[in-house]
Amino acid sequence: MSTTPELTPHLQELYEVVLRRNPGELEFHQAVLEVFESLTPVARKHPEFAETKVLERLCEPERQIIFRVPWVNDRGEVEINRGFRVEFNSALGPYKGGLRFHPSVYLGIVKFLGFEQTFKNALTGMPIGGGKGGSDFDPKGRSDREVMAFCQSFMTELYRHLGEYTDVPAGDIGVGSREIGYLFGQYKRITNRYESGVLTGKGLGWGGSLVRKEATGYGTVFFADEMLRARGESFDGKRVVVSGSGNVAIYAVEKAEQLGATVVACSDSGGYIVDESGLDLDLLKRIKEVDRGRISEYAEQRTGASFVADGCIWDVDCDIALPCATQNELDEQAAITLVKNGVRVVAEGANMPSTPAATRVFLDADVLFAPGKAANAGGVATSALEMQQNASRDSWSHEYTEERLAGIMRGIHERCAASADEYGAPGNYILGANTSSFVQLAEAVLALGVI
């Protein structure tokens, strides 16, 4: 393995330990390295963190749970999936993070997401720790009965590890309000408790929060808008490209349009659409949220729109790029293309959608770049607001909840910007996010003793 020049000898040694202890978990390795590359100035200022092995503790999950999920499909056949919950760190509060149901899920993915979640949750300033979970089950193409059967089996094992003061999952890719409903129903049945705060992303009629569905996408745009405002600009009149067409992407489109931008493209796993007149949000929502259809159907129903099968959405020129699909979707060549075509802002709505090489391209080109742990923290922040409402048996208005979300995202931007300034890299939101969240976590870890 080649030495990473950005790391101090101590950080390099620790990174090699992480590689040895977690073989084959490439996404986790990438997430750890991305944080380590920011910590040299912190290490110089706070030698006590190295002496007390704080970072070693933060790289090791407090608990990793892997379990079998047997269930019966509509043909009467038994199917077996694998379930995961990685309770990464609870120094700041109960574990908090989503569940992902997708064939790509394995331990390395869940650990990467849990590690990122720990730092992301710290940035919100709210009392929540980091965790993540999921399964290699694919809900796509399954009937409601099959999804229910799987969710009930999944929760039958997972419930014993959860609690509103212990571990509070939410949704992620493949886990929406339908899945959360089935999961919560099984938890309630097994425990005989209506413990609303044990899951977030619930339906509005049974303990959910307004703005939760919109929160990650809205928050991503709020953060990008704060970066623009710091340079005396705004979304108004900007040309925007959003990858993905799931929950995060749809509501990033909605908020960007509300702020005066023209969103011209979005995508799914089959390709991408371009609509130069601006995406028809109502049509997009109907196809993806109601019909559960493919993005190609948008071009079939919208005059003037075109569909590109299996293409790269980052070939579409834009002022602002919002990657909202999945990890490592935006590589170095795509970043070079975006810069060549004049991109000025990139804000990550997904978790680690840009490869390390891509982020270096953006930083070298002086593109405003917001890492996912900062830009997409609006989802988990609003989940914490949902927990507050559940704890107080209260329900807030849409306007008040969105106002709280916007304030949280402003606070995250201010913390990232201030930390980047403090550690000698003004405007570097990657370094700002990593250093700010790390210092907060490190101080909490030390305060709680060796546990």
Q: Does residue 139 sit within a domain?
A: yes
Task: Identify the domain boundary among 317, 341, 375.
Answer: 375
What is the domain-level CATH number for residue 110?
A: 3.40.50.10860
Q: Does residue 409 sit within a domain?
A: no
Do 42 and 55 belong to one domain?
Answer: yes
Q: Is 96 annotated as a binding residue?
A: yes
Contacts of 450 (CB under 8 A, 6+ apart): none
Distance CA 211, CA 213 (A): 5
Do 179 and 31 belong to one domain?
Answer: no
Q: Does residue 306 sit within a domain?
A: yes
The single-letter DSSP state of residue 397 is -
285 is catalytic: no
Distance CA 13, CA 4 (A): 10
* Mean pLDDT, residues 24-50: 94
Q: Is 383 annotated as a binding residue?
A: yes
The amino acid sitting at 1 is M
Do 174 and 315 belong to one domain?
Answer: no
Q: Is 171 annotated as a binding residue?
A: yes
Q: Name the residue with tokens 């710290």.
A: 122
Which pLDDT score is estimated for 292? Answer: 87
Q: Does residue 446 sit within a domain?
A: no
Which pLDDT score is estimated for 142? Answer: 96
Domain tally, the chain: 3
Among 366, 259, 356, 274, CA closest to 314: 274
User: Containing H/E element for 51?
Assistant: helix 47-51
Q: Does residue 385 sit within a domain?
A: no
* Mean pLDDT, residues 281-290: 96
Q: Is 120 annotated as a binding residue?
A: yes
Distance CA 128, CA 380 (A): 9
Distance CA 159, CA 143 (A): 24
Which pLDDT score is estimated for 7? Answer: 86
Do 254 and 337 belong to one domain?
Answer: yes
Kindly tell me the burial class for residue 377, based on how many C-beta atoms sit within 10 Å of its own C-beta (0-12, 13-18, 19 or more).
buried
Contacts of 157 (CB under 8 A, 6+ apart): 67, 68, 69, 83
* Mean pLDDT, residues 54-60: 96
Do 249 and 325 belong to one domain?
Answer: yes
Do 51 and 106 belong to one domain?
Answer: no
Which pLDDT score is estimated for 5? Answer: 44
Mean residue pLDDT across the chain:
96
Q: Does residue 330 sit within a domain?
A: yes
Q: Does residue 279 sit within a domain?
A: yes
The amino acid sitting at 338 is L
Do 223 and 371 belong to one domain?
Answer: yes
pLDDT over 70 percentage in the chain: 99
> Does pLDDT of 344 surpass 80?
yes
Distance CA 299, CA 297 (A): 5
pLDDT over 90 percentage in the chain: 96
> Cα 172–404–401 angle (5° rounding)?
70
**Paired residues of 84 in beta bridges:** 66, 134
Do 335 and 248 belong to one domain?
Answer: yes
Q: Is 220 annotated as a binding residue?
A: no
> Does pLDDT of 278 surpass 60?
yes
Task: Identify the domain boundary among 168, 196, 224.
Answer: 196
Do 152 and 239 belong to one domain?
Answer: no
> Does pLDDT of 115 surpass 90?
yes
Do 96 and 34 belong to one domain?
Answer: no
Q: Does residue 418 sit within a domain?
A: no
Q: Name the residue with tokens 């912190």.
A: 42
Residue 173's domain spans which residues? 63-196
Q: Which of 132, 188, 238, 288 is catalytic?
A: 132
Q: Tell me: the pLDDT tens digits for 174-209?
A: 999 999 999 999 999 999 999 999 999 999 999 999
Q: Tell me: the pLDDT tens digits for 69-107?
A: 999 999 999 999 999 999 999 999 999 999 999 999 999
Do 180 and 305 belong to one domain?
Answer: no
Q: Is 340 annotated as a binding residue?
A: no
Do 359 and 236 belong to one domain?
Answer: yes
Among 24, 4, 25, CA closest to 13: 4
* Mean pLDDT, residues 260-286: 97
Which pLDDT score is estimated for 156? Answer: 98
